Amino acid sequence: MNNKAFLMECAKELFYAKGYDAVGVQEIVERAGLTKPTLYYYFGSKIGLLRTLLETRFERYLAQVKEAAETRSDIRGTLYRLGEISCAFYEEDRQFYMLMMALLYSARENEAYQAVRPYFVELYESVVQAFEREAGRLGNMRGRQRQFAIGFLGTIHQYLFLQWETDPEESSGKIGGEQIASVVDQFMYGIFT
């Protein structure tokens, strides 16, 4: 790994562990065994580092979500696919996933929040579109597409959050297709399934 990628990796670990604001530039470069000017050479600023990190990691996930949301299928298949993609994204780097969530819940005024917001807006809009496209086949949704979209993403996330609380390290293996199906079904048909 070159120094640029290594700085991003170190920064991610520290941002996850302590929160973006609480991590100093000095701390990042020390962990990487480098010095400050090197960081500023590659990223220009601390927020520039975060932006680059988001760009290189979140965009691929977002592209997959968009594709799944636009692909014509039944609603259950689409939701399952979305669940699958999200779980894979979580599995790929649990720390990064949790970092994203933490940033999403930080304050509006915070520059770190402003850096992640566009990604989540796009993510959310993609899922809204999926529900909207299915509106006809799904019966009268009474304009609740937005509620469903945020509800579904929330349900998936809650499930991953529970996984995380139970098993922060990757010790108990990957999340299976059955588990995803169970969560999708709970969302679609409620708790009596």
- Provide, rounded to whole angstroms, the least separation between the CB of residue 50 and DNA: 10
User: Which option in DNA, its own copies, none does residue 5 bind, with CB closer than 5 to 8 A by kind?
Assistant: none
- Neighbour tally for 54: CB within 10 Å: 19
Residue from 5, 24, 59, 174 that binds DNA (CB under 7 A)? 24
Name the residue nearer to its own copies (CB basis): 4 or 157: 157
Q: Which stretch binds DNA (CB under 7 A): 45-53, 71-79, 154-162, 168-176?
A: 45-53
Would the CA dihedral through 31, 37, 43, 44 be positive or negative?
Answer: positive
Name the residue nearer to its own copies (CB basis): 63 or 144: 144
**Is 103 within 8 Å of 116 (Cβ atoms)?**
yes
What are the tokens at 17?
A: 């562990």
State yes or no: residue 189 binds its own copies (CB under 8 A): yes
Residue from 162, 174, 176, 177 that binds its own copies (CB under 8 A)? 162
The one-letter code for the residue type at 43 is: F
DSSP at 27 = H
- Neighbour tally for 190: CB within 10 Å: 8
User: Which option in its own copies, DNA, none does residue 19 bind, with CB closer than 5 to 8 A by kind?
Assistant: its own copies
Q: What is the DSSP secondary-structure string of 61-111?
A: HHHHHHHHHHS---HHHHHHHHHHHHHHHHHH-HHHHHHHHHHHTS-TT-H
State yes or no: residue 58 binds its own copies (CB under 8 A): no
Residue from 27, 84, 91, 185 that binds DNA (CB under 7 A)? 27
Residue from 25, 34, 102, 181 that binds its own copies (CB under 8 A)? 102
What are the tokens at 186?
A: 């709970």
User: Which option in its own copies, DNA, none does residue 110 bind, with CB closer than 5 to 8 A by kind?
Assistant: its own copies
State how far the Cα of 80 lies from the Cα of 139, in Å rounded to an integer. Answer: 19
State yes or no: residue 36 binds DNA (CB under 7 A): yes
Q: Which residues contact DNA by CB under 7 A?
A: 2-4, 23-27, 33-38, 40-42, 45-47
